[in-house]
Amino acid sequence: MTKIPVPGQSVRGSKSGSPIMAMFDLLGRRWAMGVLWTLSEQGPLSFRGLQDACETISPGVLNSRIKELRAAGFVALGEDGYHVTALGSDVYEALLPLSKVSKVWAERLADLEKPHKAQTG
């Protein structure tokens, strides 16, 4: 299996394994944030339920991301399926500002697209 980034050990962007770079290494993989987000908002979910909720994720990738998120302690498997841990919930909440910015971003792009004539400066 692929190496799971851990703070304190060499990760992408930091040989000394700075926490934020380890976090980026972990979350900067396809679907990682999407899985955590989806599970936080819609969990607990079964493997297949999570797969469906993600719309287009393949089981192999989902399995990899789950393993990594579990190893990191962000996600756990309980009686009623996968769910985020307390720490995982903290990560989710840390992503909320990003959601806010993403909306600003979307609006800005929409503004650039709509008025093909003039522009507010």
Partner DNA sequence: ATAGCTCGCTACTAAATTGATAGCACATTA
Partner DNA sequence: TAATGTGCTATCAATTTAGTAGCGAGCTAT
Which residue ranges make up the site for its own copies (CB under 8 A)? Answer: 6-8, 12-15, 19-24, 27-34, 37-38, 54-57, 72-73, 87, 90-91, 93-106, 108-110
The Cα 55–Cα 78 span in angstroms is: 23
Chosen residue from 9, 19, 30, 94 binding DNA by CB under 7 A? 30
Residue 61: name its binding partner from its own copies, DNA, none (Cβ under 5 to 8 Å by kind).
DNA
Residue 99: name its binding partner from its own copies, DNA, none (Cβ under 5 to 8 Å by kind).
its own copies
Residue 66: name its binding partner from its own copies, DNA, none (Cβ under 5 to 8 Å by kind).
DNA
Cβ contacts of residue 8 below 8 Å, gap of 6+? 16, 17, 22
- In the three-class reduction of DSSP (H, G, I as helix; E, B as strand; rest coil), residue 5 is classed as coil
Residue 11 contacts residue 5 (beta carbons within 8 Å): yes
Residue 82 contacts residue 76 (beta carbons within 8 Å): yes
15 contacts DNA (rule: CB under 7 A): no
14 strand-pairing partners: 11
The residues of the shown chain that bind DNA, judged by CB under 7 A, are: 2-3, 12, 29-31, 46-49, 56-61, 63-64, 66, 77, 81-82
